[in-house]
Structures are given as structure tokens and as C-alpha cells.
Amino acid sequence: MNLLWVFAAFAPLALASLVAFAAHIDPLSGHWRTPRPKDRKDETADA
């Protein structure tokens, strides 16, 4: 029963960590996303 309480305590933390990590992964390429500077224009818009 004690293991159930340990699991219940750590499962939300583990799930939140997984979601936070997954938010940084590009789903199409599988590579890590790098933050873009906000003052930089989108290069594909000029094409």
C-alpha cells in the first residue's frame, strides 16, 4: 500500500516533466526546438 502512495505522489510530477520535455521537441523532425529571437523576421515569408 505504501508503494501506491509513492506512485500517486510521483506520477503527476513525472507526467508534468514529460509534457514539459515534449513541448520542446519538433514533432515533424524529432529534433530539439531552439527559441527564435523575436526581432528576427521569418525567412520563409520573403520567398
Rounded CA separation 6/35 (Å): 36
Rounded CA separation 14/20 (Å): 10
Task: Give the pLDDT confidence of 20-46 residue by residue, as tens digits.
Answer: 999 888 888 888 887 776 665 655 655
Position 32 scores a pLDDT of 86
What is the amino acid identity at position 19?
A: V
Task: Give the pLDDT confidence of 3-16 residue by residue, as tens digits.
Answer: 999 999 999 999 99
Rounded CA separation 19/22 (Å): 5
